[in-house]
Amino acid sequence: MDRKSQTAVLVTGGAGYIGAHTAKALHERGFLPVVFDNLSSGFREAVRWGPLVHGDLRDRAALGEALSAYDIKAVIHFAGLIEVGRSTVQPDLFWDINVAGTISLLAAMREKGVDRLVFSSSAAVYGQGQRSVQEALAEEADKAPDSPYGATKLAAEWLIAAQCKAYGLTAVALRYFNASGADPSGLIGEAHEPETHLLPLAIAAALGDGKPLTIFGQDFQTPDGTCLRDYIHVSDLAAAHVAALDVDLPAGAFEAINVGTGEGRSVSQVVAAVGKAVGSPVPHSIGDRRAGDPPSLVADPTRARQVLGWTPRCSSLEQIVEDALRWERNPRYGAGRRDPAKRAKADASA
């Protein structure tokens, strides 16, 4: 399709994991994804479906230029820091990029008259609080972030909600549970440097590509003692963003919506599924709990179905592991994260 006739959407952080998958989903729905990214953690090779504007979120002038140059009609805002462990040692940096960066983006959008936003929030806004591990999380659940990372996502949500009321911005905050898997094409996938996430580390260990996995704690009040998480395929997550952009909402509306499956999987279950898919067990040991890890985070996804008409399509654990494994066997970029020095850095910040 002619680029000029497409509706352009600015995707901040579009060179990152979820951003790149969402850019692909936007392209498939006829939008032009314009990626705005400083490439501090994203990959140029992940930007395949539209132009890349190299810039920093805190540079309001650069944002303004990108919004005008492409006649942007809406923004999907992913750019930010994501490592929970690192946020406990560098909280000021997380507030600067995740909150001050969002202030800068909102100001640029207001200046250019762009009034539609989808924001990348997180299940980390909830924390464990007083909740029992069996309880699925509805959006109204108490917010007690266990990490500065979660606190910055909640603060950014509050800020966006206030801007909606004050200036007529329309926004949807999607609270992701555990994004995982990779696009079935094998062209894009998960690549964090350093890598701290369970699935890529378990696969690397099983392939003999990394060191043995450490399971962070086996003494939680959960059925098998390891943490429960709600693993959602990144392609399903990408589809939720397109739905959030399309949904008919009045001016000034703000919606916060969980994006998960409603199914909790334990770390041990994930490790077993990886062993089965690879055909050899995941070498692992049991270690201490990791700071900032709540025992259980499982979504109640009712609202996503009601408001967005969205349900997961490819988030069975088997499908997630199969797609992640295809990518890890042949990553198109980011193979450097297997570098032992980077792995040591990951361990230090975990």
Query: What totals of helices (H) and strands (E) does the chain contain, helices first?
Result: 12, 14
292: left (phi over 0), alpha (psi -120 to 50) or beta: left
Of 59, 58, 31, the C-alpha closest to 245 is 31
Of 269, 267, 248, 270, the C-alpha closest to 321 is 270
What tokens does 288 get?
Answer: 């201490």
293 binds ligand UFG (CB under 6 A): yes
218 binds ligand UFG (CB under 6 A): no
Of positions 73, 197, 211, 332, contacts ligand UFG by CB under 6 A: 197
Q: Which stretch binds ligand UFG (CB under 6 A): 20-28, 196-204, 235-243, 300-308?
A: 196-204
Of positions 57, 198, 299, 325, contacts ligand UFG by CB under 6 A: 198
Of 195, 207, 198, 196, the C-alpha closest to 180 is 198
CB of 31 to ligand UFG, least distance (A): 25
Peptide bond into 194 cis (omega under 30): yes
Of positions 128, 185, 214, 302, contacts ligand UFG by CB under 6 A: 214
Distance between CA atoms of 233 and 21, rounded to whole angstroms?
Answer: 10
Residue count, binding to ligand UFG (CB under 6 A): 21
CB of 204 to ligand UFG, least distance (A): 10
Distance between CA atoms of 193 and 129, rounded to whole angstroms?
Answer: 30
231 is catalytic: no
Burial class of 196 by CB neighbour count within 10 A (0 to 12, 13 to 18, 19+): buried
Residue nearest to ligand UFG (CB): 227
Give the contacts of 105 (CB within 8 A, at least 6 positions apart).
12, 57, 63, 75, 77
104 binds ligand UFG (CB under 6 A): no
147 vs 170 by CB, closer to ligand UFG? 147
CB of 104 to ligand UFG, least distance (A): 21
112 vs 290 by CB, closer to ligand UFG? 290
Of positions 63, 97, 259, 267, contacts ligand UFG by CB under 6 A: 267
- Give the contact letters, 71-100, x = binds to ligand UFG (CB under 6 A), - = no: -----------x-x----------------
Q: Which stretch binds ligand UFG (CB under 6 A): 48-56, 101-109, 121-129, 164-172?
A: 121-129
Buried b (16+ CB within 10 A) or exposed e, 226-240: bbbbbbbbbbbbbbb
Handedness of CA 313, 43, 230, 256 (dihedral sign): negative
146 vs 183 by CB, closer to ligand UFG? 146
Which residue among the candidates 17, 149, 176, 231 is catalytic per the annotation? 149
- Give the contact letters, 29-68, x = binds to ligand UFG (CB under 6 A), - = no: ----------------------------------------
Of positions 216, 254, 310, 327, contacts ligand UFG by CB under 6 A: 216
Buried b (16+ CB within 10 A) or exposed e, 103-136: ebbbebbeebebbbbbbbbbbbbbbbeebebeeb
Of 332, 318, 211, the C-alpha closest to 275 is 318
Binding site for ligand UFG (CB under 6 A): 82, 84, 122-124, 149, 178, 196-198, 201, 213-216, 227, 229, 267, 290, 293, 297
Active site residue ranges: 149
